[in-house]
Amino acid sequence: MAAVDLEELVRSTGEWLRGSGPESDVVMSSRIRLARNLADYPFISRASPADRTEIEKTLREGIRKLGEAFHVSYLDVSKLEGLDRQFLVERQLISREHADSEGARGVAIDDNEQVSLMINEEDHLRIQVLKSGFDLAAAWEKINAIDDQIESFATYAFHERLGYLTACPTNVGTGMRVSVMLHLPALVITRQIDKLFRSLQKISLAVRGLYGEGSQAMGDFYQISNQITLGRSEEELVKQVSEVVPSIIDYERKAREYLVRESKQNLHDRVSRAYGILRTAQTISSEETMHLLSSVRMGVNLGLIPELQIPTLNQLFIHTQPAHLQKLSGSELDTADRNIERARYLRAHLNTEDGAADKN
Amino acid sequence: MKCQKCDKTATFHITELAGGKPKELHLCEEHARDYLAENETTEEAAEPAETLGQQLAVGQTVEQLAKLDKQACPVCGITFFDFRSKGRLGCSHDYVCFEKELEPLLVNIHGETAHTGKRPKRSPTDTDRLTDLIRLRKDLKTAVQAEDYERASQVRDEIRRLEGDKK
C-alpha cells in the first residue's frame, strides 16, 4: 500500500467536486458511509493507547493485504501536520473529528478519491464512498462490496437483534448514513429553503451544511441524509433518500426558472456583480468567496456566463478553502495574507477564461 | 392561477406536509414571503447525540436515575452516567448490559428496536463472547503491572484460545 502523495492531491479537484454525474447542476455528490467496530476491542472512548495502536494495526494490515485490486494508499493521520489534516477535511476525505482527535489513527484513500477508510474515528472503522452527481445506487453497490472485503479479515461487533454495534446509539443497526450534497441557491433566494427543511425533518431526514454536523450552509450547499439507522434495511435507507431528492431537484429548478422568468434582470445583475467582485477583488474571505461563487455557479448553469465552465468553478470552490490555498501557494499564511492570496488566485483563474481582462 | 390572498398571479406553489395530509397553497411572491416568514422557527433541531442524556432522564425519578447512573459495564467499566454525559458508549457489551435502559432511547431515535438489514457473513450471530477478550486484555495488563506472572500467563493462554476461536 503506497503512501498518499498529498502534493499531487492538492492540484486535483476530488471526486465530489468533479461536477459530473447525473443531475450535476443541482446535485454535487452522493455519499454513503458505514460505521463498523471490531468485536474484540472497546469503543474509542474506552480504548487505551495500546488498544488504539492494535486496532489501527489490525485494520491497516488487513486493508493492505486485500492487495493491489483494492487500489488504496494509506496516510498516518497522527503524524500529519495540522495544515495537511485540515486539507483532508476540506477534501471530505476525513472528518473534522478525525483530524482534531489524538492517538493512533489513519485513513486509506483510493486513487480517484471515491473511497476513504477512516481508522479510529468515532468508531474503529468508517467506510465512505463518494460519487459525483446523484448516484446513490452505485455508491451502495461499491460500499457493500468493500464492507464484505473488510469482513474477510475483521470480525465486526454485531448483535443478533440490534445489528452492527456503534459507539453512538444514533448509528446502531445498519451503521449507515446516506447523504446527498445539493446546491440550492434559488431556493435560498426565494426563501423556500426553511420550508423544505421542515418538511424533510418531518420524514426523519437531516439537513446539514457543507462540512457535516454543525457546519454553516456555506455557498448554499446542503447535505440531506437519513436520521434513522435501525429497523430499516440498507436498501430501504438508500431508497428513502433517493426518492426525496428528485423532488428537491425539481423545486430548485422551478425556483431557478421562476427567477429567470420573473426577475431575469435582477438575477443577471446578481450573477454579474458576483462574477465582477471575484474577478477584481484584492482581498476576500473564504465565506464571501463561497457566497459569490454560489451565485456564479447558478449563473453558469442558467447560461448567463457562457465563457465559464462548471468544472473550473468547482475547482475554485475547493482551491480557495484555507488549507488548499496555503498548500497551493506553498506557504503557511495568516488570515489577512490568505485573503490577499485568495483574491490573487481568483483573479488569475477567472480572468484567463475569456482572455479579455488583464491578469492583475 | 391567482394568488389565494390577492389578485396577483400565484408564482409560489407550496405544499404543506404538516398534519399528515398535504395542503396546497398558491401565492404571489409577496404573500409567499409573508407566509414563509410567519412559519419560520428560529429553534435549531438539536443533534441527537447531544440530547441523549435529557431524553433518558424523562420518566425517571431522581433516585432511580442516581441508582442507574452508578451501574457499570463489567467489560469496559463505563458507568451509565458516563454515557449520559458524553453520549458515547464504551464497548459493544454496553448494548447487552444496559439493554433495558437503552431501549426507550432507541425507540426515540429510530422508532424501532430490531435490525432488519445486512448481516456479517463471517459471524452472523452475536459477537458478544468476543468482548471477553476486552476484559482479559485488561486483566493481563493489571497482572503484569502487579508482577503476578502466574496469573498473567493463565490470562495469556485464555486470550490465545479465544483469538484462535475468532478465526
Amino acid at B91: C
Inter-chain CB proximity A160 and B125 less than 8 Å: yes
Whether B16 is covered by a domain: the verdict is yes
Whether B50 is covered by a domain: the verdict is no
Amino acid at A113: E
Task: Give the three cell numbers for residue B22.
Answer: 398535504
Q: How many of the other CB atoms lie within 10 Å of CB of B74?
A: 10
**A7-11, A107-111, A192-196, A234-238 — most confident range:** A234-238
- Whether residues B103 and B133 share a domain: the answer is no
Inter-chain CB proximity A40 and B134 less than 8 Å: yes
Cβ burial of B50 (10 Å; 0-12, 13-18, 19+) is exposed
Tally of domains in chain B: 3
pLDDT in tens, B32-45: 667 665 554 433 44
Q: What is the DSSP string of A218-269?
A: GGGEEEEEES--SSS-HHHHHHHHHHHHHHHHHHHHHHHHHHHHHHHHHHHH
A226 has pLDDT over 60: yes
B58 has pLDDT over 70: no
Q: What are phi and psi of A27, to 5 degrees?
A: -95, 120
B51 has pLDDT over 70: no
- Whether residues B96 and B133 share a domain: the answer is no
Q: Which chain B positions have a beta carbon within 8 Å of A39's beta carbon? A: 92, 123, 127, 130-131, 166
Whether B53 is covered by a domain: the verdict is no
Task: Give the pLDDT score at A54.
Answer: 95
- Mean pLDDT across chain B: 78
Is this structure's pTM higher than 0.95? no
**Pairwise CA distance, residues A227 & A168, whole Å:** 13
B132 has pLDDT over 90: no
CB nearest to A195's CB, from B36, B77, B137? B36
Task: Give the three cell numbers for residue A330.
Answer: 506553498
Whether B10 is covered by a domain: the verdict is yes
Whether B120 is covered by a domain: the verdict is no
**Pairwise CA distance, residues A49 & A262, whole Å:** 61
**Pairwise CA distance, residues A180 & A190, whole Å:** 22
Task: Give the pLDDT score at B162.
Answer: 79
Q: Pick the last residue of a domain from B95, B115, B135.
A: B115
B74 has pLDDT over 50: yes
pLDDT in tens, A329-342: 999 999 999 999 99
Task: Give the pLDDT score at A326.
Answer: 96
Task: Give the three cell numbers for residue B99.
Answer: 439493554
Cβ burial of B106 (10 Å; 0-12, 13-18, 19+) is buried
Whether B49 is covered by a domain: the verdict is no
Interface of A with B in 279-308 (CB under 8 A): none
- Whether residues B109 and B132 share a domain: the answer is no
- Whether residues B143 and B110 share a domain: the answer is no
Task: Give the three cell numbers for residue A258.
Answer: 421562476
Task: Give the pLDDT score at B44.
Answer: 40
Task: Give the pLDDT score at B41.
Answer: 40
Interface of B with A in 36-65 (CB under 8 A): 36-37, 39-41, 45, 47-49, 52
Whether B6 is covered by a domain: the verdict is yes
Dihedral of CA atoms A316, A317, A320, A322 in degrees, nearest 10, equals: -160
Q: Are A318 and A90 in contact (CB under 8 A)?
A: yes
Which of A162-171, B107-116, B155-164 is predicted with the least confidence, judged by mean pLDDT? B155-164
CATH pick for A6-255 out of 3.40.710.10, 3.30.590.10, 3.10.580.10, 3.40.50.150: 3.30.590.10
* Domain boundaries, position B139: 127-165
Say if A148 is an interface residue toward chain B (CB within 8 Å).
yes
CA distances from A82 to A13, A96, A100, A103, A320 (A): 21, 11, 9, 14, 18
pLDDT in tens, A52-73: 999 999 999 999 888 766 788 8
Of all residues in chain A, what percent carry a pLDDT higher than 90? 75
Whether B39 is covered by a domain: the verdict is no
